Structure 1
């Protein structure tokens, strides 16, 4: 049986037990503040990021892992006796990480199979989990890649920024839109569509926004199987836990967990963001 490594980036926000269980190697995304660049989960914790974000006069930028770091990892895996690696990365519609990985694979003789997750966060872990199970069943790498690629079309993620302030600072919405949104308590819903984030709804109040996203989940439960749901958030665990409790009452048979989003999402969506993510089988 081949020794196969799993590679992903910090957009997946995998916890340490998952990383150890599935032998996953993590490439950190970056955040660039005026005082320097920081690697997520290495130089910058979630708490430290939001402290810096609150004090920052200018919005930070995000950055992908350098190709040199990718090549160093590939070389390390090769020397450790791995036969190849499967690299699952944040959607190419949001980051150049996937394209950089593709370029890096052409610079090494170590076989690396790259996959565009077309999403971020919770579904990336489910893709790795499924791929690991398929390998254990004796499936070859090409079959695993095909299965994960098919799963990307059934992964969902929608989030609700607490306000449009950070989206405005990062250049995603206008000042007028931000002012009116704050004045009228308008909440926007942003969802992944074909690997990109799009503003799908504008509603009055957080309650209506949550009901809208919950309706999307309910529709998938009716037409398919949704065994797990993640309540995702940007430094807003209290509201995420409240939504989890509400969902457990509505869907008692579904496993529901609370998962923080990458700080790179926080750069654009802002502190207080909450949402839901799931995969339909």
Structure 2
């Protein structure tokens, strides 16, 4: 049986307990800067702490990917202990994290390191990690694990609802035209991931219509009782809970999880944002 390590960046919001129970799981945190003070995402600051600090900070926070040095140091530290390393990253269309991973892979080992572009972030990225760990415990091959990650990537959806599009525009994650109409018309935009990019899916004017639209989108995918459904939020638990209640009306047999968005993701989406994701 091959020894396989899983490395993930902090946007997946992996629970501390999961790291403690899996000694082959490693974290590469992104960086967050608030009023000239730096934090390691998910280590020095929690999602709830970030939302509190956001209300008090003088300047809007900024984010940065793991440095090449940090990635090199981790891979060099663990490379001799494993036959393979799988590094599951936030979408390459949203961050340079994947590209940095590829640079380091080429420097250290093309044969032992696999850098996997999730084309998503947050909840779907976390589900990829969980599935990888399960397959490793079941003694699956590296080829089977990568194939399953590709399957998750191709059958997953994420939809985001943000209160203010200006954050996504400021950080370059959405176009100026999309950002402008949201502010001017006071609408509730629903965004989606398409091939790793965040695009406008629809625009509605009330929160009730947001819920209706999201329910319609997930209903159209005809999920089974085994499908994964996850809601994530940035200080928007009330929105997430109401959405969960509505989802349970049509998917009563499914376990529907509510999780928090990482501070780094919340910088871009803003507080009071929430998202719905699923894997068919």
TM-score (norm 2): 0.89
The residue correspondences of 1:132-281 to structure 2 (distance < 5 A) are 132-167=133-168, 169-170=170-171, 172=174, 173=176, 176-182=180-186, 186-221=187-222, 227-280=227-280
Give ranges in structure 2 of 5+ residues lacking alignment: none
Kept after mapping to 2: 8 A contact 1:31/1:62:
yes
Kept after mapping to 1: 8 A contact 2:13/2:42:
no
1:51 matched residue in structure 2: 52
1:27 matched residue in structure 2: 28
Deviation above 6 Å: which 4+ runs of structure 1? none
1:7 matched residue in structure 2: 7
Cα 1:14/1:144, change in 2 over 3 Å: same
Equivalent-residue separation in structure 2 for 1:181 and 1:51 (angstroms): 28
Q: Which moved more, 1:126-135 or 1:227-236?
A: 126-135
Kept after mapping to 1: 8 A contact 2:231/2:275:
yes
Cα deviations across residues 99-125 of structure 1 (Å, max 9, x unaligned)?
Answer: 101111122248211100000111122
CA apart distance, 1:257: 0.9
Q: Which moved more, 1:17-26 or 1:155-164?
A: 17-26
SS in 1 for 2:221: helix
Equivalent-residue separation in structure 1 for 2:248 and 2:214 (angstroms): 15
1:115 matched residue in structure 2: 116
Residue 86 of structure 2 corresponds to residue 75 of structure 1: no
SS in 2 for 1:106: helix
Note the aligned Cα RMSD (angstroms): 2.2
Equivalent-residue separation in structure 2 for 1:92 and 1:210 (angstroms): 29
1:66 matched residue in structure 2: 67
Equivalent-residue separation in structure 1 for 2:25 and 2:155 (angstroms): 23
Give ranges in structure 1 of 5+ residues lacking alignment: none
Equivalent-residue separation in structure 2 for 1:202 and 1:26 (angstroms): 36
TM-score (norm 1): 0.89
Equivalent-residue separation in structure 1 for 2:240 and 2:198 (angstroms): 21
Equivalent-residue separation in structure 1 for 2:196 and 2:183 (angstroms): 29
Cα 1:126/1:179, change in 2 over 3 Å: closer
Q: Which moved more, 1:5-14 or 1:17-26?
A: 17-26
Question: What is the aligned residue count?
Answer: 275
Cα 1:137/1:212, change in 2 over 3 Å: same
Equivalent-residue separation in structure 1 for 2:125 and 2:99 (angstroms): 17
Equivalent-residue separation in structure 1 for 2:220 and 2:225 (angstroms): 10
CA apart distance, 1:169: 4.9
